[in-house]
Structure 1
Amino acid sequence: MFINAGAHYVALDFIAIKEASGDLGTMAAQVRKGIAWVYKNAASFDGDPERIFVGGHSSGGHLCAVALTTDWQKEFGLPENTVKGGLCMSGLYDMTPVRLSWRRSYVNFTDPLADAMSPKRHIDKLHAPITVTFGTLESPDFQRQSRDFAAAVKAAGKDLQVIESPNYHHLEMAESLGNPYGPNGRAALAMMKLVPT
């Protein structure tokens, strides 16, 4: 879908949380380094470093928001607006309630880690338009976190779009990214100002 519409598509991989000994910071560092690599090497595959957009679903939605609230200048010597837009799909954006869930059995939470990995607490670093999506059949936590994060972004006066998809559950939201007429596929193409073919 993306390639047919004229975009390059780079799928960043990141370590599984259990393989990272429960350290979300390791996962985030891999994603940040991957984005920095794409920026520095885009010309090698005829990409445009001035048109980098990010997106992710579920844990990827969380990491997308972490990437969007990264201080690119401080951490990588890159422009503040390295990322031009982000599509955060069905993610968790505040780790405080996550620490109280069953996830604490495999995520090694500390106060500094929970703060650093909570994009909702770092909206001041957000320099790109952001689209937050979720389905109405997702769990109450995914819906609440999406709404709360979007409300915080809006309250900060940042460029925001929220897409609440009726009758979509968590996995259907992921699948919709591959469909140019599904909620996430349509949102991704619109964010990049591309037309489906």
Structure 2
Amino acid sequence: MKPYHFMDHETLEREYSPSSCIDDIMVFINQYIDKSAEARELLNGQFEQNVKYGPEERSHFDIFMPDKAKKAANDPEIAPLPVHVFIHGGYWQELSKNESCFMAPNFLDHDVIFIALDYTLAPDATMHEIVDQTRRGMISVINNARKFGGDPENITISGSSAGGHLVAEVLSTDWNLYGFNKCPLKGALAISGVFDLEPIVNTYVNDPLKMTKEDATSLSPLHHIPDECCDIVFSVGENETSEFHRQTDEYMKACQKKGINTSYVKMPKFNHFDIVMELNKKDSPLFKAVLNQIRS
């Protein structure tokens, strides 16, 4: 039995409501919007919007490229650049890539191509469809990296909240089905993810998702940890609920038992929403952890 099995409904909903730890969620959502708009303005001429990877309306991503990337794409003698892909959160039902490129300037400053990946939201897509779509998006990035000056052997991935769950689902991919003999990613960062979906089935979060317990089991990374994958960095803001801390701790330990290299970055004073903003700061422990994966 896990802690959530002993929680009444009100407590369970509070534990899986990240905004319960802050005063006003819109303060942070507006920061995502404003900082992403600033990034696009700053990097005008250095990004390509709405690159399609599938038939769905939101099967697309935005690519932000250092000047060196354009040269590498056109000249095979120039070394390709590392690629970092970010998967946004929003409990699989809110936000998009458009509010998720605020960290692009920092990656470009370090000669790393940055990609903000989009996917269809619930209720327009089921959780199974969202996971499949995100996986196809990552496969597209890997297979087409050289076309935009990227190095297919140096691709890292990160995601926050629902994006953390989707990162873990990508890592659980049966890569052989896509022509790879092992995990092709170099590293991953999962921030404040949900890795066991069972506790949210009976909460407000599931209203648009409409998951059954069987769905939750099959879609929980905790229940299908890969035998082999890239190194994973985990983090949760200090000011988050006990369940978000437990979810990461449990999944990280399960990965360690499988022999997967993991590490944890403590983020004192941060909450579920401001923690991800640290990826746009060159001296942030989170960004340094990603950069270490890229340069290792």
TM-score, length basis structure 2 = 0.61
Q: Residues 227 and 258 of structure 2 are in contact (CA less than 8 Å); yes or no, is this contact kept in structure 1? A: no
Residue equivalent to 2:130: 27
Picking from 139, 142, 155, the partner of 1:36 is 139
SS of corresponding position for 1:123 = coil
Q: Find the counterpart in structure 1 of residue 78 from structure 2.
A: none
What CA distance in whole angstroms lies between the structure 2 residues aligned with 1:171 and 1:9? 20
> Which one of the candidate residues 223, 231, 237 is aligned to 1:121?
223
Is 1:6 the equivalent of 2:111?
A: yes
Q: State the partner residue of 2:199.
A: 97
User: Would the alpha carbon gap of residues 61 and 112 (structure 1) be closer, same or farther in structure 2, given more than 3 Å must change?
Assistant: same
Q: Which has the higher strand share?
A: 2
Residues 87 and 101 of structure 1: CA distance in aligned 2, closer, same or farther (over 3 Å): same
Corresponding residue SS for 2:273: helix
CA contact (8 A) 1:89 1:184 kept: no
Counterpart CA distance in 2 for 1:109 and 1:9 is 32
Q: Residue 56 of structure 1 is aligned with which of 141, 156, 159?
A: 159
CA separation of 1:99/1:125 partners in 2, compared to 1, >3 Å: closer, same or farther? Answer: farther
8 Å CA contact retained: 1:57, 1:90: yes
Change in Cα spacing, 1:106 to 1:126, as seen in structure 2 (3 Å) is farther
Write the distance in 1 (CA, Å) between the matches of 2:203 and 2:245.
Answer: 16
The one-letter code of the counterpart of 1:153 is C
The 1:27–1:126 alpha-carbon spacing in structure 2 relative to 1, beyond 3 Å, is farther
Q: Is the 8 A contact 2:201 2:212 kept in 1?
A: no
Please list every run of at least 4 consecutive aligned residues from structure 1 whose deviation after the TM superposition is greater than 6 angstroms. none
1:179 equivalent to 2:281? Answer yes
Q: Which of the two has higher C-alpha Rg?
A: 2
Q: Determine if contact 1:179/1:186 at 8 Å carries over to the other structure.
A: no
**In 1, are the aligned partners of 2:195 and 2:221 still within 8 Å (CA)?**
yes
CA displacement at 1:122 relative to structure 2 = 1.4
Query: For the residues of structure 2 that align with 1:83 and 1:64, how far apart are their CA atoms?
Result: 11
| Structure 1 counterpart SS, 2:143 | helix
**Correspondence 1:70-85 to 2 at 5 A:** 70-74=173-177, 76-85=178-187
Structure-2 residue corresponding to 1:110: 212
Structure 2: distance between partners of 1:125 and 1:18: 32
Quote the Cα distance in structure 1 between the aligned partners of 2:293 and 2:214.
33
Cα distance, 1:111 vs structure 2: 4.1
State the structure with bigger RCO (CA 8 A, min sep 6), 1 or 2: 1
Structure 2 gap segments, 5+ residues each: 1-105
- Aligned equivalents of 1:176, 1:36: Cα separation in 2: 27
Matched, 1:45 2:148: yes
**1:155 is the counterpart of 2:257:** yes
**Partner residue of 1:15?**
120
Q: Aligned partners of 1:19 and 1:184: how far apart in 2?
A: 33
Name the CA distance, whole Å, in 1 between partners of 2:181 and 2:110: 27
Q: Deviation of residue 125 (structure 1)?
A: 4.1
In structure 1, what is the Cα distance between the partners aligned to 2:234 and 2:132?
22
| Cα displacement (A) at 1:6 | 1.6
3-state SS, counterpart of residue 9 of structure 1: strand
- TM-score of the pair, normalised by structure 1: 0.90
- Once structures 1 and 2 are overlaid, which stretch shifts more, 91-100 or 107-116? 107-116
Q: Which residue of 1 aligns with 2:53?
A: none
Q: Look up the SS of the partner of 1:18 in the other structure.
A: coil
In 2: Cα distance, 1:100 partner to 1:192 partner: 39
Match of 1:143 in 2: 245
| Count of residue pairs the alignment pairs up | 191
